[in-house]
Structure 1
């Protein structure tokens, strides 16, 4: 929570561009970058891996160890994750 914002704070404008900038947009960027990630689900489960592709309401996560690159031999499982089930995403440093 933020205190003291009051009347000096501004709300986001509702434009065609800001309407497109949602979680799906951010996840697509992470998939494009092939970034290794930690994904916290709303269930509390923590996954590590790389997003392979992103649909309108899901992301495909190739699960692998945090220190490993996304290579076929390192992928333990591929999981479809509902975008509404994602609580947080954190990129991992190489």
Structure 2
């Protein structure tokens, strides 16, 4: 009888130690998972649910508000409303992201399967905008904004033909040309292009 109680006590003690060790391992695994979580990963979860976000940008104080509509390799897109159209934001221009507490908590969950959009770079998206020939308004870190049509996009810059947003890009309407490095762009308002 004493031996049975002795073995039961040992078994309970081993079970308790095993549970404590497993809890430590689970905590460490969660810390490791969180250490690998990127801003892009969190934005991708918010975009899956089309969560409303507030994105603070570098440069002169600017905050964009709206539902996230997509996330690429180095950019995200928001719907700003019917009048303001869509916005394309380079991730490196983001200084802070705000959202409802449940959405931010949910954004720390493991990311689902990645689609092709996650591999599209800012250059890829701007080359598509050049192909579509719609008007854009480019906001820069210096606080300026240039309106026109993207003529071509390179590896780290793009050419913008300056003209009014409501006028098609014609040589007679072009007031000038700008070569704009990606590194100076805080966001691109997609005036004549749907996202």
Unaligned runs of 5+ in 1: none
Unaligned runs of 5+ in 2: 1-97
Change (3 A) 1:49 1:7: closer
Distance 1:10 1:35 in 2: 36
Matching residue of 1:26? 125
SS at match of 2:102: coil
Matching residue of 1:4? 102
Please tell me whether residue 74 in structure 1 is matched to residue 176 in structure 2.
no
Which structure 1 residue ranges, 4+ long, deviate > 4 Å from structure 2?
A: 12-17
Please tell me whether residue 84 in structure 1 is matched to residue 183 in structure 2.
yes
TM-score, scaled to structure 2: 0.42
Distance 1:58 1:49 in 2: 15
Distance 1:13 1:42 in 2: 33
Q: Rg bigger for which structure? A: 2
Structural RMSD (CA): 2.5
Matching residue of 1:47? 146
Deviation per CA, 1:52-85: give whole Å up to 9, x if none: 0010000000000121110000001110000111
Change (3 A) 1:87 1:28: same
* Aligned positions, number: 93
Distance 2:189 2:143 in 1: 14
TM-score, scaled to structure 1: 0.83
Change (3 A) 1:37 1:7: closer
Which piece of structure 1 moves more, 53-62 or 5-14? 5-14
Matching residue of 2:26? none
Distance 1:30 1:66 in 2: 14
